[in-house]
Structure 1
């Protein structure tokens, strides 16, 4: 537990002041420090003999298993297939959900028509549809894209609806005063005001899409990261399983950073 003097010192530096941002350098150091601590504890638990390799591979063993996957078993192809499935299903969902969400947020009659069904459907787990989707679409790519689509589309609709519906009324009234019509309000006020937060919502849902694709690949897949993890589970190779999970996390982290940078470049006026 920190002493009062150290707590005061940290507070003076801004580290413990509520809602006060830290510098980019401090954020990088703190984030990297947690990763180093996590890997250190993992290595201590496994290399120290506290956890058996059958249940948890050490960091070194996971890296060795990953190198074997990449050089001997064509794991790059599995990574490419999984990324393609995530992006394909997510983009299909966004192409439908974003316009619908904007319409629902802007026009309360549209919201009243769609909102009960959307609120009902968003609680249905996408994984529960896998048996039906296999019957309807087989075990090919269509089934996997459909799982990601169903897991993403309703969440995006609800989030975009809330964002668009929270547009400041003073901006809307000012636009009416300047002669804008109903269509102009949507194009010139609601969409520009909502766009930064819509991008943030898409960034969050893209993270959820990764969970759906792994579930989809656990059943009936012949390629992909999820397929590799299932094969490794049958062989009791925890090193390969952990490496696959780490790869998912790294791809997700890179995607998240790219989304943040794109959002900052497209919407420089927004505070994100």
Structure 2
């Protein structure tokens, strides 16, 4: 924090600025200190400003005629398309179906991946047994399995859920393992020195220390799960956001495609903030 002497010293270079503006200047300056926190209000304003700049750029490109409407609709056209999708074409049902698919596949993947990741990050024999195969599967694109899943289990809901599990599970396993390994070795040694048993070290030291990072890993991989479900819905689906997007592409309805993409981003942003709120509630010390 800056001392009053430093503020008054710096203020010599702004003789024509009032005290309130000087205070704002130094508050913004202090905000760029590494790892310096800012107020929630400032955070919200900066975040909204970014979206505002993107909207302004979009408007300049489309209303100014720099980009043909066939390739990029105007904000007004996208808004009109959204109204029509929700009021006439049942787009809310497509959104709900996609959310159910994402959560079903991701919850199954998380229930399996989180315990496996904790075991890999805690016990070296389990790491040697499972980490190589998980690293191998991680590099296999989930979309490449879609033709096989269609042959094996058809084009119904299990196929789309299987794509999400295939893409999410190995990524989450390895990220949870990394989060578990980051627990300080000194903390574990102190626990052993105090007479803590091996099983108690896992439950009372490793898990409480790694849970905030594990929840953060779950939040990150959930974003990837949305990518997998949209890819799955582009092939062999009769509902969902991805299905709406591919149907709009066939009809050259760029505005509908933009609505689909923007709705995915907004839903993902809502999930992201829910995870952040949950993390602050559960782990206020993190």
TM-score category by the smaller chain? over 0.9
Compare CA radii of gyration and give the structure with the larger one: 2
Residue 100 (structure 1) aligns with: 116
Instruction: Decide whether the 8 Å contact of 1:10 with 1:16 is kept in 2.
Output: no
Q: CA deviation at 1:100?
A: 0.4
| Pick aligned residue for 2:61 from 34, 41, 45 | 45
Residue 268 (structure 1) aligns with: 284
Q: TM-score, normalised by structure 2?
A: 0.89
| Pick aligned residue for 2:142 from 112, 126, 129 | 126
Aligned-pair Cα RMSD in Å: 1.5
Comparing 171-180 with 142-151, greater Cα deviation is found at: 171-180
Residue 170 (structure 1) aligns with: 186
Measure, in 2, the Cα distance between the counterparts of 1:159 and 1:74: 38
Measure, in 2, the Cα distance between the counterparts of 1:29 and 1:11: 14
Q: CA deviation at 1:50?
A: 1.3
**Stretches of structure 2 lacking an aligned partner (at least 5 in a row):** 1-12, 15-24
Residue 5 (structure 2) aligns with: none
Residue 208 (structure 1) aligns with: 224
Q: Which fold has the larger relative contact order, with Cα–Cα distance below 8 Å and residues 6 or more apart in sequence?
A: 1
Q: What is the 5 A alignment of 1:118-267?
A: 118-267=134-283
Q: CA deviation at 1:177?
A: 2.9
Matched, 1:69 2:77: no
Q: CA deviation at 1:12?
A: 6.3
Matched, 1:56 2:56: no
Aligned CA distance change for structure 1 residues 12 and 48 (closer, same or farther; 3 Å):
closer
Comparing 41-50 with 247-256, greater Cα deviation is found at: 41-50
Q: CA deviation at 1:10?
A: 6.3
Aligned CA distance change for structure 1 residues 79 and 12 (closer, same or farther; 3 Å):
closer
Measure, in 2, the Cα distance between the counterparts of 1:55 and 1:198: 40
Q: CA deviation at 1:11?
A: 8.1
Count of residues in Structure 1 that have an aligned counterpart in Structure 2:
264
**Runs of 4 or more consecutive aligned structure 1 residues displaced over 3 Å after TM superposition:** 9-12
Measure, in 2, the Cα distance between the counterparts of 1:236 and 1:14: 49
